[in-house]
Structure 1
Amino acid sequence: MSDDHRTPPRLPDLRASDADRERVAEQLRDAVAEGRLDMTEFDERLDATYKARTYGELEPLTRDLPSHEPVTASSAKADLIKHGAAPSSDPVAINWPERMAEGAEPTSTLGFAFWSGFGRKGSWVVGRQFTAFAMWGGGEIDLREARFTDRDVEIRCFTIMGGLQVVVPPDMTVVVRGFGVMGGFDDRATGEGTPGSPRVVVKGFALMGGVGVDRKIRRAEKLRQREERRRARLERRANPDD
């Protein structure tokens, strides 16, 4: 009997596509947002990502990250089938179902600052209610990368001669109901978010202090915009006559 078996091509030697490179870039952006990579490491790995030509060159760039998924032809194809487009075809929008952590234990329910400060940021778990108090101090409550145990969330802010800052992504539903006494309670962030967004109510009071509620894009989106500007500069250098 003749041996009809053929040795398949080694996967590391296969050429990677733009979708494969963008898939790795997305994992790197997530790692920066979670604090696993600093900006120097991110820049180095991102440059290597966009210069990579094969799967073998891409795979080591995320090997030491918890979210690491080996970049293979089959995995890239599965991603395209699942999303109906390249993995980052809509990189701005938050996938709210993935951000829900129903039944999980909240990371923290209280922030307290007295002649000091506190911060809650990154991929922390927010419960149905979070209370913040600052006296002669300050605190930051950043919800841009947070996960939520409930779709109705109440952030209670109280400050006396201090300051509290609540940061939310642009696509979150926010209602601000606080008030200031010889102080300020900013309500400009009130507005509807995208479908499926949690509804976050910020309430409380500021006595001779201030509470600010700001909408800011996520760190990953800032990095994506930075990448786009860098790629545009490289394209202009490569095609100066266009």
Structure 2
Amino acid sequence: MGEDAKAMRAGDADREAVAAILREALAEGRLDLHEVDERLARTYAARTYGELDPLVADLPATLPWQEPPAPPADEKPLVLSAGWSSEKRTGAWRVPRRIVAEPSMSDVKLDFRQVPSPPPHIDLEVKGGMGSIVLVVPEGWSVDTDELRATWGGSVKNRHHGPAGPGRPTIHVSGTTGMGSFKTRGAYFYE
């Protein structure tokens, strides 16, 4: 954040966004009650973004004014076709707003644990065959599978269906599983 942005005046909604992140950190055991009380007092007294930023700098969250600009409307989706060999994305990869996964004969694995700056909403379209799709998602992320249909004996196992934490993304999944499966796993998943 540049010096000009740090000097910009914060509003009530900005202070409430920081307070929500601090309360979430307390619930997760990242901060103790004394630390949260101290930071909340500073939050509600803050006048600028520059005063709010340090209060959550050591927590895994992105504030609304820190989010990267929306990608261009003509951004192409990432298409992963797993024919005879598996497709996977791991490490610090760039996540687009739209992903199409086609696990026809093999598997697709999307590991979001080290993604540096994901978009707030990710659309994942599944065009299932006989392969499976596995998403490894960090704590606080949400995966919405309401529009994903299991067909031809396929299955859907989603452990991340609750609301996303403050500043955390939601992955909206649509399409069909075919004969394969769709699963989500947590951040502590080991191969």
TM-score interval, smaller chain: 0.5 to 0.7
- Of 69, 86, 104 in structure 2, the residue corresponding to residue 102 of structure 1 is 69
Say yes or no: does 1:150 pair with 2:119: yes
Structure 2 unaligned spans of 5+: 1-52
Match of 1:175 in 2: 144
TM score, norm. by length of structure 1? 0.47
Query: C-alpha deviations, 1:212-231, integer Å up to 9, x for none?
Result: 12222489xxxxxxxxxxxx
Query: C-alpha deviations, 1:140-171, integer Å up to 9, x for none?
Result: 01112224563221111222111111111121
Q: Is the 8 A contact 1:152 1:200 kept in 2?
A: yes
Structure 2: how far apart are the matches of 1:101 and 1:179?
Answer: 32
Match of 1:9 in 2: none
- Of 96, 108, 119 in structure 2, the residue corresponding to residue 127 of structure 1 is 96
TM score, norm. by length of structure 2? 0.58
| Percent identity (aligned) | 21
Structure 1: how far apart are the matches of 2:137 and 2:164?
Answer: 10
Once the two structures are TM-superposed, the CA of residue 198 in structure 1 deviates from its matched residue by 1.8
Once the two structures are TM-superposed, the CA of residue 210 in structure 1 deviates from its matched residue by 0.7
SS at match of 1:202: strand
Structure 1's consecutive aligned runs of 4 or more residues displaced over 3 angstroms after TM superposition are: 82-85, 97-101, 103-108, 147-150
Q: Is the 8 A contact 1:185 1:205 kept in 2?
A: no
- Of 162, 165, 176 in structure 2, the residue corresponding to residue 191 of structure 1 is 162
CA 218–99 in structure 1, closer or farther in 2 if over 3 Å, else same: farther
- Of 87, 98, 101 in structure 2, the residue corresponding to residue 118 of structure 1 is 87
Structure 1: how far apart are the matches of 2:87 and 2:139?
Answer: 23
CA 109–84 in structure 1, closer or farther in 2 if over 3 Å, else same: closer
Q: RMSD over aligned Cα, in angstroms?
A: 3.1
Write 1 or 2 for the structure with the bigger share of helix: 1
Query: C-alpha deviations, 1:190-215, integer Å up to 9, x for none?
Result: 11232111222122211111111222
Structure 1 unaligned spans of 5+: 1-81, 220-242
Q: Is the 8 A contact 1:168 1:213 kept in 2?
A: yes
Query: C-alpha deviations, 1:164-188, integer Å up to 9, x for none?
Result: 1111112113212212111102233
